Amino acid sequence: MSAISVGARLDRLPVTRLHRKVFNLVAVGMFFEGFDIYIAASVLAATYKTGFSTLAQNGLFISITFVGMTLGALLTGFLGDRYGRRFTYQLNLIIFGAAALASAVAPDMRTLIALRFFMGLGLGAEVVVGYSIMAEFFPSAIRGRWSGMMCTVVTAGLPVSALLAWLLVPTFGWRVMFLLGALGSLVAWFLRRELPESPRWLAVMGHDAEADALVSSFEQAASFDSANNPLPPPEIIVPHTAGDLFRGPHLASLVVGSVSLVVVNTLIYGFVTWLPTFFVGQGDSIARSTGFALLMSFGGPIGSAFGALAADYLGRKPTIVTVSCIAIVLSAAFVFSGTSPLMPIIGFLLTIPIYVLVAVLFAVYVPELFPTALRLRGVGICNAVGRSASIIVPLLIGPLFANFGIPGVLAAMSIALFAMCIVVAALGTETRIQKLSMAAA
């Protein structure tokens, strides 16, 4: 049985109970990945307000997260293509959970920053493997919706993290947030032991019997779930080799994916993560600043849900370009709102297009750009470039905010969005109706 036939058999299936099981098992870990990324927003505002950290240390904390995520994404790309998706998925949870637990008792900010590096290793791996698994299990016709829904689960970690910070941090301090993240990751590791390996990867690696058995179980579930609707025959696909990741169309895909993830990481870690600190810097209390951040955080899952729908109905490229333009306009409105009561409302509206981009780029578009044999390496490199290029962004945000305020920060964000629009429009391929490539190495 060839890798091509596995892909064709998977793409003809409806969504079955086994697809939903895969979705739920991946979602458990991905939710806590989102939760733990976004605790930086609430934790850093509290450490800064209480004198545990300085603005410079807060920037270093976010930057070291990127260093860890860069290495985690890069290593996972190669490990995942060599040893499988499931193995690397479980490994990253152990690394992250242990570091998060130690962070809850960190004696000083230097120790917390060092531990954040190891947390970053796990977080970087989670993003690469989680979305790639979604792409490899779900049929092409509805892949965008389900991958986008996974991103909605991830971004739900933003309001949950903000809500818990608002409720718990003023009373129990910031350490409780790390403790919650550690416990969640350990629960996710236990549940994920039932996650199956990707049948596409099994076929590419020559494990034909395992791939056939796994695909057959999905086909049987489809027959049971849709007894009155027989499965259509698999589509005939012309086989081809994967080629070189650094030549031809794959190189263009690396450029598009890398630039896009640089920009979306800049939006998250140069603006969203800093929101409570911005409000504190303008004189608000921790409770008031986390309350504003909580309101804006609900734009995360809303934007991801819109992204899940738009990716399949409008297409990947039109969604990316259009939503980027909307974000630029709302950035200007946010600046002109000043300190008026409209500022949190416009901020909420601004987070919606930001997270439409997060869903379409992280969850849908970038994993679709590469064939199975090269997927985790391609996605890992794009994530690594995105993270590494963004390492300096948090270090610049503090001085940028101190000298130019929020207008300076959002001007930089708008320039980045405009640059991404040009690159995606010029070099990007539309993958909405494209079959997920099963090319062998």
**Per-residue pLDDT averaged across 52-58, rounded?**
86
Check residue 2 and give its pLDDT: 54
Q: So where are the chain's domains?
A: 3-427
Architecture per CATH, 3-427: Up-down Bundle (1.20)
pLDDT confidence bin for 3, thresholds 50/70/90: low
For the chain, give the mean pLDDT: 82
pLDDT confidence bin for 60, thresholds 50/70/90: confident
Task: Read off the pLDDT of residues 419-435 as tens digits, 9 standing for 90 and up.
Answer: 999 999 998 888 776 66
Check residue 170 and give its pLDDT: 84
**Per-residue pLDDT averaged across 394-418, rounded?**
82
DSSP assignment string, 46-81: HHHHTTSS-HHHHHHHHHHHHHHHHHHHHHHHHHHH
More confident residue, 242 or 258: 258
Check residue 254 and give its pLDDT: 93
CA distance 298 to 304: 10
Burial class of residue 78, CB neighbours in 10 A (0-12, 13-18, 19+):
middle
CA distance 352 to 51: 33
Q: Which of 57-66, 129-138, 140-149, 239-248 has the lowest mean pLDDT?
A: 239-248
Reply yes or no on whether the pLDDT at 249 is more than 60: yes
Reply yes or no on whether the pLDDT at 437 is more than 70: no
**Per-residue pLDDT averaged across 117-141, rounded?**
86
Task: Read off the pLDDT of residues 199-229 as tens digits, 9 standing for 90 and up.
Answer: 988 988 888 889 899 999 998 888 765 555 6
Task: Read off the pLDDT of residues 271-305 as tens digits, 9 standing for 90 and up.
Answer: 776 766 666 665 555 556 666 667 777 788 889 88
